[in-house]
Structure 1
């Protein structure tokens, strides 16, 4: 009897469980799914999707048919360029500030016009 010490995946999606007594088992394989039309997916909650049309669903294993092998022991890089997003945020903030000033000046001009024409 041993304690589970490590879980790992291979390129075909097989899950290998390693135990403290040296035993290793491969009891599971990760299922893959693809859709002929991804527009049939609906957001269920946050980043969870559900398929409204299960007819276009294709199940399989990694490395078989249309499914690629898994890239194990790797880290996916972010697809967001933080420096570009920060620069865009500053541009938007400056645009907002300029728009706010324009609205304040327009409001002051309308008030001044109203004051000047009130007596006539």
Structure 2
């Protein structure tokens, strides 16, 4: 699952993930509120979620807060990645203040960022 209000970023990130066989079935969302709704209703149970920080209707941080409140134990297996064009240390610190965030990645995605510890 990729959540970003920028359609070009969504498509580029999807191509990168598919090219390196990171995932074969990628759901794209331009709206974090629709993504939260689908996750809450059990319409999707992704292995990985990539969410942009800066979006108009709900920030990536607000998305993570809402995600962590969803009561679906199977979502505990989902890896959550924050993606941003910013490498601001304050954003990085805030991202890792959430228990569900696995990594902070900068745009554009690349396989080295995804596979490095």
TM-score range, shorter chain: under 0.3
Name which structure has the greater RCO, CA cutoff 8 Å, separation 6+.
2
Structure with a larger share of its residues in strand? 1
Structure with a larger share of its residues in helix? 2
When normalised by structure 2's length, the TM-score is: 0.19
When normalised by structure 1's length, the TM-score is: 0.18
Larger radius of gyration: 1
